[in-house]
């Protein structure tokens, strides 16, 4: 419930701080005194978008703060989901700066307006003439029926299943769309894949082929160089091997004269062995090296194949071609297996749909059972509000569509007169009739739901006398289970409140300010008398006021 409201620098309000109790609170005041300003400030702290023109002092910021007792509202999951500190006494604050910047806080944690508005919906239900038109909407009417049918838990399960159904259906649509796209691309992708599979793709292949190509393409020069190398090593006159043979013979003789010559001889022996081995290698390479035009052509074809593929796919490395090959293989494989995937997904969608239809059936059956009860309660309550002949024709029809609250279409028809034709509420009910119907529905809902604080903004417009007295009694009964506010211009309603606040304007130093005060017993009698007979209070008006309070 709302326990405190503080408004600073908003419209005609300079600084207002007021505390509230549980039960039934009435707020009165002359037209233009600022009751709508109070509601406007409350709307801001509940998440409504800010209007910079609402600032009283354009150089200072507007601060609106509301304190709520929320331990009975089951809001801990909301706070956990939005990473907010939960407190049984929660404070929401809204700041509007002269620059136009707006900030919102829940228990001093900054939040978005969206989060603030969601919390606000769970804290206060502000009923205005605009909200009365919600009575004509099917979603609102079904919400009333669901409250009586105790459908809250099953609707949670239904919405979860509906979300799953939408998700799996979208996945099926995506697979079908993918299939359509792959049918066009499959042949081309398969062709590209075959080209890459036919190419010699492996790490280092390009460098290896390029080396082989260079050798075969320059075979005559290589043979000539190998021959020259062999000749330099084995020439009879000045070949390195023959010279090292003579040098080896010389050091062999020297080794007889000391260890230092033995070591020298070993080194010369090593040089001789290496030179002789190199000479043999030159000869062997020369013998196996020969021109092979066919091999050269084959290697050239493979290299050209790699170069063409790199150009075609816009890459420079064989490794990149290998990656493209893998990607194409996956696409081709996916395209070839898509029929199986679609079949499996269709089976999954059917299974989810069957479970969803089961929820739809349960919801619809439970709704149908309570329709006679709702009709009876509405008609009985409206009789006490001066609508003795009011009657309803309420019916359900299940359609082949999954809506956010089931698959029912509701016909909620009304007739205000005995024997009169039934019609849609928005077409046949007057504003006063809609207000009384809405009050009756809110009273019914209060019995079945843990509703938040209810604030009625002149719901009694268009009624008077005994009817307004009965409307006040209905709100009084509602307040036994919840906090109820009524902004009213009728003394019959105001007299039913446990608490009475007056909104009024004062002029101080050529400035008009809106203020609000809680009336004591004597002040309350005077206020009701004024509401009954005007500023010139008569003895009869005072007596009538006391009678209303008693």
Q: How far apart are CA 475 and CA 449, in angstroms?
A: 16
- As annotated, the residues of the chain forming the CATH 3.40.50.300 domain(s) are 1-128+452-519
Say if CB 9 and CB 57 are below 8 A apart. yes
Provide the CB-side half-sphere exposure for 353 (13 A, CA). 11
Whether residue 229 has pLDDT greater than 80: no
What are the E-state strand segments in 451-521?
Answer: 453-457, 484-487, 499-508, 511-518
The residue among 415 and 240 whose pLDDT is bigger is: 415
Say if CB 296 and CB 216 are below 8 A apart. yes
Per residue in 375-405, pLDDT (tens digit) is 999 999 999 888 889 999 999 998 989 999 9
Provide the pLDDT confidence category of residue 238 given band limits of 50, 70 and 90: low
Say if CB 528 and CB 548 are below 8 A apart. yes
Closest CA to 25 of 465, 459, 470, 476: 476
Which DSSP state fits 495?
A: T
Closest CA to 30 of 374, 549, 527, 486: 527
Per residue in 14-49, pLDDT (tens digit) is 889 999 999 999 999 887 777 878 888 888 888 888
What's the mean pLDDT when you consider all of the chain?
Answer: 86
237 token code pair:
């006159």
> What value does the mean pLDDT take over residues 263-273?
84
CB neighbours (10 Å) of residue 411? Answer: 13
Q: With left for phi above 0 and alpha for psi between -120 and 50, is residue 94 left, alpha or beta?
A: beta
Which DSSP state fits 422?
A: P
Which DSSP state fits 447?
A: H
Per residue in 281-324, pLDDT (tens digit) is 877 777 666 777 787 787 777 888 888 888 888 888 888 888 88
Q: Alpha-carbon dihedral of residues 420, 424, 428, 431, nearest 10 degrees?
A: 140
**Annotation: CATH topology of 1-128+452-519:** Rossmann fold (3.40.50)
């Amino acid at each position: 419930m709302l326990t405190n409201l503080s408004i600073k620098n908003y419209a005609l309000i300079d600084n207002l701080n007021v505390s509230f109790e549980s039960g039934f609170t009435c707020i009165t005041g002359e037209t233009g005194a600022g009751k709508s300003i109070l509601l406007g400030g409350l709307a801001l702290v509940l998440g409504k978008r800010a209007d910079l023109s609402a600032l009283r002092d354009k150089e200072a910021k507007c601060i609106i703060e509301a304190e709520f007792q929320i331990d009975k509202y089951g809001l801990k999951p909301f706070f956990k989901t939005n990473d907010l500190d939960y407190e049984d006494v929660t404070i929401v604050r809204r700041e509007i700066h002269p620059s136009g910047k707006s900030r919102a806080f829940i228990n001093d944690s900054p939040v978005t307006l969206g989060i603030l508005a969601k919390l606000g919906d769970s804290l206060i239900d502000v009923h205005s003439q605009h909200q009365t038109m919600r009575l004509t909407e099917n979603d609102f009417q079904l919400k009333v029926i669901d409250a009586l049918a105790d459908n809250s838990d099953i609707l949670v399960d239904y919405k979860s299943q509906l979300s799953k159904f939408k998700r799996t259906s979208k996945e099926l649509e995506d697979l079908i769309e993918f299939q359509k796209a792959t049918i066009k691309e499959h042949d081309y992708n398969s062709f590209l894949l075959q080209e890459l599979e036919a190419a010699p793709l492996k790490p280092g292949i390009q460098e290896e082929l390029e080396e082989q190509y260079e050798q075969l393409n320059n075979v005559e020069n290589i043979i000539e160089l190998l021959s020259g190398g062999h000749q330099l090593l084995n020439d009879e006159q000045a070949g390195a091997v023959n010279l090292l043979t003579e040098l080896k013979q010389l050091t062999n003789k020297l080794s007889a004269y000391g260890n230092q010559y033995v070591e020298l001889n070993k080194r010369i022996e090593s040089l001789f062995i290496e030179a002789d081995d190199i000479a043999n290698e030159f000869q062997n390479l020369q013998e196996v090296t020969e021109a092979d035009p066919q091999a050269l052509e084959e290697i050239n074809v493979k290299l050209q194949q790699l170069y063409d593929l790199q150009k075609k796919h816009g890459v420079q490395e064989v490794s990149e071609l290998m990656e493209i090959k893998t990607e194409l293989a996956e696409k081709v494989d996916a395209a070839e297996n898509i029929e199986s995937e679609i079949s499996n997904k269709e089976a999954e969608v059917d299974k989810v749909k069957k479970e969803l239809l089961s929820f739809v059936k349960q919801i619809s059956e439970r709704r149908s059972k309570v329709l006679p009860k709702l009709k009876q309660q509405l008609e009985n309550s409206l009789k006490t509000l001066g609508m003795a002949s009011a009657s309803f024709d309420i019916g359900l029809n299940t359609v082949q569509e999954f809506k956010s609250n089931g698959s029912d279409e509701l016909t909620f028809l009304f007739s205000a007169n005995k024997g009169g034709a039934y019609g849609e509420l928005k077409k046949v009910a007057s504003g006063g009739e809609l207000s009384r119907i809405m009050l009756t529905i809110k009273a019914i809902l209060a019995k079945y739901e843990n509703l938040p604080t209810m604030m009625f903004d002149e719901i009694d417009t268009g009624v008077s006398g005994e009817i307004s007295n009965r409307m006040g009694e209905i709100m009084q009964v509602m307040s036994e289970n919840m906090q109820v506010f009524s902004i009213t211009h009728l003394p019959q309603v105001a007299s039913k409140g446990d608490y009475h606040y007056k909104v009024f304007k004062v002029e101080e130093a050529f400035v008009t300010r809106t203020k609000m005060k809680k009336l004591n017993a004597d002040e309350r009698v005077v206020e009701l008398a004024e509401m009954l007979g005007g500023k010139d209070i008569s003895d009869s008006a005072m007596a009538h006021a006391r009678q209303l309070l008693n």
